[in-house]
Structure 1
């Protein structure tokens, strides 16, 4: 069981630690809002990682086969959603920078749902977890081992995402004021647009 626990932790950290577009967006969002909002967003990412880990344990091979025929349309739809989010983020940043009032911050619930959506539209995540589980079938041969693997993957992902949120909160203390909010907002929009293009190109 210890081997399953370690495998789940390593798997969760392996997919979470490389800071891609979602991680960068998490940092800039937290910098513009608060650690509370960033922590909710971080848990949104970890939730999807946990769900995908569970799906991979339950039906990794079937899910991979199911996603393969629709991979291109799924990528294009995901990219379109991300581009809309990027445009809205940039528009909000520009609008907020022209106001002397502090913009109304995003709620933790909204941040959680936003990051669940952004992470969920990345089909590579479930394929990654499926590959790990299929390559280590002896690790999750029972329901208890599968549950430990999924829980460990979730905890590993959550621990790293919360650390990123803490970094974003520290950045936010430096990037205050309209100019700082504009910069972090536009960086967030560019990061999401980059993720959309990466998703589109596969």
Structure 2
């Protein structure tokens, strides 16, 4: 029963980490509306894999990985910010007609892989994710108290919880997909592009602040 409880805790943690609407959530919603639920889900699934990787680092207390992430946080913020700005510009300028031609000309598998890699890359370049895991694990009293089996069970739960969130979101958005007009999709592209640009600028601002602080120190 103790193992089951650890699994449940992991599912709750994975769901809670994935659920707040951020860059990946916006992309999942938009891509579900334009390309269908599988494309939206695989975008989120990439983020779920990244969450699982970071969750494993936190659960197993891999000090070398933690030190590397903390030591290169500015570089991650810089890369992530630039990546977000590129995605933001492409999203803002995309028109529904062009998206339909793109979806029709590209094999589904390539679209799914592209969505997966976008979700994976954006989440892996956000070191705040692992800091969130560490903080939540500490809040739940899990930091450093798990053996290997329990840590593995917790990480499995994180994977299941995060995947469950992205499945729920993509299926929910797909259910109302037919009610949104092309004009509404254009507005969605613009709003998503602006929001993604905001996240990207915030990441670059954090990187610049770190550089200035380091230079001043």
Superposed pair shares fold, TM > 0.5: yes
132-141 or 120-129: bigger deviation: 132-141
| 2: CA distance, partners of 1:37 / 1:114 | 11
1:199 aligns with 2:203: yes
Q: Residues 146-196 of structure 1: CA distance to partner in whole angstroms, max 9, x if unpaired?
A: 11101101111111111111232134212243x233222222222221221
Helix, strand or coil for the counterpart of 1:44? helix
| 2: CA distance, partners of 1:59 / 1:6 | 20
| 2: CA distance, partners of 1:104 / 1:40 | 17
Aligned match of 2:189 in 169, 173, 185? 185
Aligned match of 2:171 in 143, 166, 169? 166
| 2: CA distance, partners of 1:195 / 1:35 | 24
| 1: CA distance, partners of 2:175 / 2:187 | 16
Residue 22 of structure 1 contacts residue 192 of structure 1 at CA under 8 Å; is this kept in 2?
no
Residue 80 of structure 2 contacts residue 203 of structure 2 at CA under 8 Å; is this kept in 1?
yes
Question: Which residue does the alignment assign to 1:104?
Answer: 102
| 2: CA distance, partners of 1:108 / 1:48 | 16
1:76 shift after superposition: 1.9
Q: TM-score, normalised by structure 1?
A: 0.84
Question: Which residue does the alignment assign to 2:146?
Answer: 140
Which sections of structure 1, spanning at least 5 residues, go unmatched?
Answer: none
Alpha-carbon distance change, 61 to 7 in structure 1, aligned in 2, over 3 angstroms: farther
| 2: CA distance, partners of 1:102 / 1:21 | 22
Question: Which residue does the alignment assign to 1:129?
Answer: 133
1:26 shift after superposition: 1.2
1:138 shift after superposition: 5.4
Question: Which residue does the alignment assign to 2:50?
Answer: 48
Question: Which residue does the alignment assign to 1:32?
Answer: 34
Residue 24 of structure 2 contacts residue 43 of structure 2 at CA under 8 Å; is this kept in 1?
no
Helix, strand or coil for the counterpart of 1:49? helix
Q: CA RMSD in A?
A: 2.3
1:54-73 counterparts in 2 under 5 A? Answer: 54-73=56-75
Residue 59 of structure 2 contacts residue 144 of structure 2 at CA under 8 Å; is this kept in 1?
no
Q: Which of 1 and 2 has higher RCO (CA within 8 Å, sep 6+)?
A: 1
